[in-house]
Structure formats: C-alpha cells, structure tokens
Amino acid sequence: MVEAMSVAELQARLASSEPPLLCDVRRQPAFIGSPQVIPGALRRLPEAVAAWAGTLPGGRDVVVYCVHGHEVSQGVAAYLADQGLRACYLRGGIEQWKAEGGATVTLSE
C-alpha cells in the first residue's frame, strides 16, 4: 500500500527547503477538461509511467495526483515506489487541493 499525503502536508512540504517533485497524472480527458495544475507540477500520462519513471530526478520525494486521488494516482505512486523512488499520492487529488484553497496555474499542452 502506497502512502497518501494530505493537502496541508503537501503545502508545508512545498514551502520547505526540500520540496517534493509534483506530477500531475490525470488521464488526458480529465486534463483537457480542466487544464489547471498545481504550480510547479510536471504533466505526465499515467499509462506511460514505465517510459517516464526513469527520467525523474533521483533523491527527491515524488508526489503524484489525479482528479480525486483514487486509482490513477495510487497506481502510479505504487509503480514509482516499486522502482525505488520515494513516492506517494495526494489524498483527494487536485479537487481536494482546490477545495482547500490551493493555487493552480493553467498549463497548455
């Protein structure tokens, strides 16, 4: 079972001297419908995780998020953890982030 991080925990970690690497792993239709990301997040397709997992910089914690923090982000975080990365997912996803007043920026692909 992969670990979850709350919005408050993520906000604190992002403000720290060693912020985690953020990856938006929403499926393409969900992203196209709402192209806002958490500032600084990398946009990565969940179905291509095997291709991009090795490109992530080592030594940093990785936090992935999807729409609601369910199967997509949990599956990606579990895969990354299996590859030896310190990975977790954002509980509640980007919807919870926005509900708690978290900032977003619009990303165009």
Return the domain boundaries, the chain: 4-106
4-106: CATH architecture: 3-Layer(aba) Sandwich (3.40)
Q: Which position has the higher pLDDT, 73 or 108?
A: 73
User: What confidence score (pLDDT) does residue 108 get?
Assistant: 67
pTM: 0.94
User: What confidence score (pLDDT) does residue 58 get?
Assistant: 79
- Tokens 């914690």 map to which residue? 61
In DSSP notation, 35-51 reads -EE-TTPEE--GGGHHH
Tell me 21's DSSP state. E
| CA 88 from centroid of its chain's CA atoms | 8
Taking only the tens place, the pLDDT of each residue in 27-83 is 999 999 999 999 999 999 999 999 999 999 878 999 999 999 999 999 999 999 999
